């Protein structure tokens, strides 16, 4: 009897310990991994129907949620500001990007081009909650003391403060920069001789994680990749896997993605595909240039796969260290596909030649010393089934993937609720706090997606809520299933249009004449949004890509004065020689 009582007692103690351990494990706040890809279109990942092989990201999607109506801004830094702060970009100081800022807007509220005083990031909030906060990758939210991640909540950081840079070495990619400005913990840093961006960013993040691996503290890891921003570069073993994939040309790829979008459930089966923009050349008109253009797209897919491969290494590290199961993964992009063609500018062509970039050697395209991009026609194909691309407020510039995987996240499901990047911060904080009553939420413009994630609601925003987006004059306002949009030249006409964003994702039908009351109400909504957030109108005739070149000119003159001075010096020497010769004859 005594032995039996002891057995029962041990069983009870064991059950209590198991229950206590289970409760402690459940109460342990999740680790947060935020993965931000650069210029990745809605359908670029394999899980969303893209051609590139992305098994690591696809596995997170299969084990979690895929959002199909998630939106960024048309440009990188404003999107990153919204993602990290939960606020409209104009309220953070990042109304646009420094490269396209017109002189008239310099120093105006919201246009500081860094996170302004008092603006808090997700790292700030999580560090207050006991998290270790770590970042590697592209920052682009301020340059210099007090403006880098170490001053915005991050314990450790190795970041690029520029819109982009070379992926093989420490060199700039446009004349706006004299160097590739990398920083570690706020101090200027140098890259190793053996460097490839996606590999290095994961390696350094793993190093940071291991520094605190034994203390049991939850962590926030922000991995901001350079893939697939210009210059598009990838190891040949990745790019070569896509030989032949893009031989049929951009019209074919755009149509194929549109068909897959219907199959996956990204768009209704009745949704029309917008035609290619009239400024874009047909694939059949290229002739011998087709080989170069299809290789550029092969390298683009290779760069995506290379990023995914290194994400897979990071996931395996978390699994091996026992931290994977209690980690919330968030994977998204900062805007749609990059359409710029740097060779369209004489200034850019001259700079690329001056600094020695190789743009056309097919055998080494994407490798060290080369410079690749996909251009507007391939960007239009990548943006399918939507209209336009990065820099513009067509759905192709705004609609991006969003994947969530982790504890409490349903598995293998789609969510079609409208959301924006600023919704990520309140969502993460509500998951971490298990509470949405804190005053902090009243300071954010974003809304928690948690009710939609759990299946308790089919909307993040009420049907009558007006949600605005604006960068560099390209603007949109969403209300329910309607979208008001304005796109500037050269791919827009500057006119406001009204679309059904759900049933017409290609924005093929302007509804403003058909529904004038809705159009007028949403125009009024936009004006209220602009006034509330301090949105400035653009100068007459403004074009973003032209402004990049104008802003680069004084920097180009300062950084390469010796190139400009050389012909002047030669001319002076020649004039002196001719003058001396003429004197000798007299």
β-partners of residue 296 are: none
β-partners of residue 482 are: 479, 500
Alpha-carbon distance 306 to 174, whole Å?
A: 23
**Torsional sign, CA 336, 338, 339, 340:** positive
140 is catalytic: yes
Kindly compute the dihedral angle of the four CA atoms of residues 523, 528, 531, 537, in this order, to the nearest 10 degrees. -10
Burial of 381 (0-12, 13-18, 19+ CB in 10 A): buried
β-partners of residue 157 are: 135
Question: Which stretches does DSSP call E strand in 126-213?
Answer: 132-138, 156-160, 182-184, 187-188
Alpha-carbon distance 566 to 361, whole Å?
A: 29
**Cα angle vertex 130, ends 313, 222, to 5°?**
35
**Cα angle vertex 207, ends 201, 208, to 5°?**
90
Alpha-carbon distance 134 to 154, whole Å?
A: 6
**Cα angle vertex 149, ends 144, 152, to 5°?**
105
Judging by DSSP bridges, how do beta strands 187-188 and 466-471 pair with one another? Answer: unpaired
Q: To which H or E segment does residue 468 belong?
A: strand 466-471
Q: To which H or E segment does residue 327 belong?
A: strand 327-333
Determine which one of 140, 152, 310, 499 is catalytic.
140
DSSP calls for 333-372:
ESSS-----GGGSHHHHHHHHHHT-B-S-GGGTTSTTB--
76 is catalytic: yes
**Cα angle vertex 227, ends 262, 158, to 5°?**
140
**For residue 506, what are its two tokens?**
């290609």
Q: To which H or E segment does residue 498 belong?
A: strand 496-500
**Listed residue (473, 513, 487) closest to 394, CA to CA:** 487
Q: To which H or E segment does residue 80 belong?
A: helix 76-85
**Listed residue (417, 435, 415, 416) closest to 426, CA to CA:** 435
Sequence-distant (≥ 6) Cβ neighbours of residue 84 within 8 angstroms: 121, 122, 123, 141, 152, 222, 425
Active site residues: 76, 140
């Amino acid at each position: 009897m005594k032995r039996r009582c002891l057995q029962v007692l041990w069983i009870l103690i064991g059950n209590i310990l198991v229950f206590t351990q289970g409760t402690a494990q459940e109460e342990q706040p999740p680790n947060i991994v935020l993965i931000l890809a650069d210029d990745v279109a809605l359908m670029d990942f394999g899980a969303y129907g893209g051609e590139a092989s992305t098994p690591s990201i696809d596995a997170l999607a299969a084990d979690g949620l895929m959002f199909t109506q998630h939106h960024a801004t048309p440009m990188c830094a404003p999107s990153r500001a919204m993602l990290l702060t939960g606020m409209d970009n104009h309220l953070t100081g990042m109304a646009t990007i420094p490269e396209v800022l017109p002189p008239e807007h310099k120093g105006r509220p919201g246009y500081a081009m860094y996170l302004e005083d008092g603006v808090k990031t997700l790292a700030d909030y999580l560090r207050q909650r006991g998290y270790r906060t770590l970042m590697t990758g592209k920052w682009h939210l301020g340059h210099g003391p007090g403006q880098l991640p170490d001053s915005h909540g991050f314990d450790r950081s190795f970041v690029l403060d520029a819109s982009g840079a070379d992926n093989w070495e420490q060199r700039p990619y446009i004349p706006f920069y004299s160097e590739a400005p990398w920083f570690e913990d706020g101090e200027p840093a140098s890259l190793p001789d053996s460097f490839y961006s996606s590999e290095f960013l994961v390696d350094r993040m793993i190093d940071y994680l291991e520094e605190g691996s034994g203390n049991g503290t939850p962590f926030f890891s922000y991995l901001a990749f350079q893939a697939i921003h210009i210059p598009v570069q990838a190891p040949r073993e990745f790019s070569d896997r896509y030989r032949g994939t893009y031989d049929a040309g951009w019209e074919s790829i755009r149509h194929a993605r549109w068909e897959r979008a219907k199959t996956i459930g990204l768009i209704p089966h009745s949704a029309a595909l917008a035609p290619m923009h009239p400024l874009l050349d047909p694939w059949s008109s290229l002739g011998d240039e087709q080989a170069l253009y299809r290789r550029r797209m092969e390298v683009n897919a290779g760069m995506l796969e290379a990023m995914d491969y290194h994400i897979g290494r990071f996931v395996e590290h978390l699994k091996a260290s026992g931290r994977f199961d209690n980690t919330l993964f968030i994977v998204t992009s900062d805007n749609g596909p990059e359409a710029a063609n740097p060779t369209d500018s004489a200034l850019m062509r001259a700079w690329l030649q001056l600094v020695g970039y190789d743009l056309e050697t097919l055998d080494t395209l994407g490798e060290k010393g080369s410079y690749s991009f996909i251009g507007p026609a391939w960007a239009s194909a990548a943006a399918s089934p939507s209209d336009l691309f990065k820099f513009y407020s067509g759905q192709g510039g705004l609609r991006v993937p969003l994947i969530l995987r982790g504890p409490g996240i349903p598995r293998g499901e789609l969510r079609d609720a409208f959301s924006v990047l600023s919704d990520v911060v309140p969502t993460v904080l509500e998951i971490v706090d298990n509470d949405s009553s804190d005053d902090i939420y009243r300071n954010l413009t974003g809304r928690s997606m948690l009710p939609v994630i759990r299946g308790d609601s089919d909307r993040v925003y009420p049907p009558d809520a007006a949600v605005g987006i604006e960068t560099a004059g390209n603007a949109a306002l969403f209300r329910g299933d309607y979208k008001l949009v304005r796109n500037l030249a050269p791919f827009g006409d500057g006119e406001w249009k009204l679309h059904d964003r759900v049933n017409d994702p290609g924005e093929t039908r302007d509804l403003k004449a058909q529904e004038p009351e809705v159009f007028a109400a949403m125009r009024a909504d936009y004006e209220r949004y602009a006034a509330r957030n301090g949105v400035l109108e653009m100068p007459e005739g403004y074009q973003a890509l032209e402004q990049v070149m104008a802003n680069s000119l004084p920097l180009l003159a300062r950084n390469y004065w010796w190139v400009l001075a050389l012909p002047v010096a030669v001319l002076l020497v020649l004039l002196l020689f001719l003058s001396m010769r003429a004197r000798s004859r007299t």
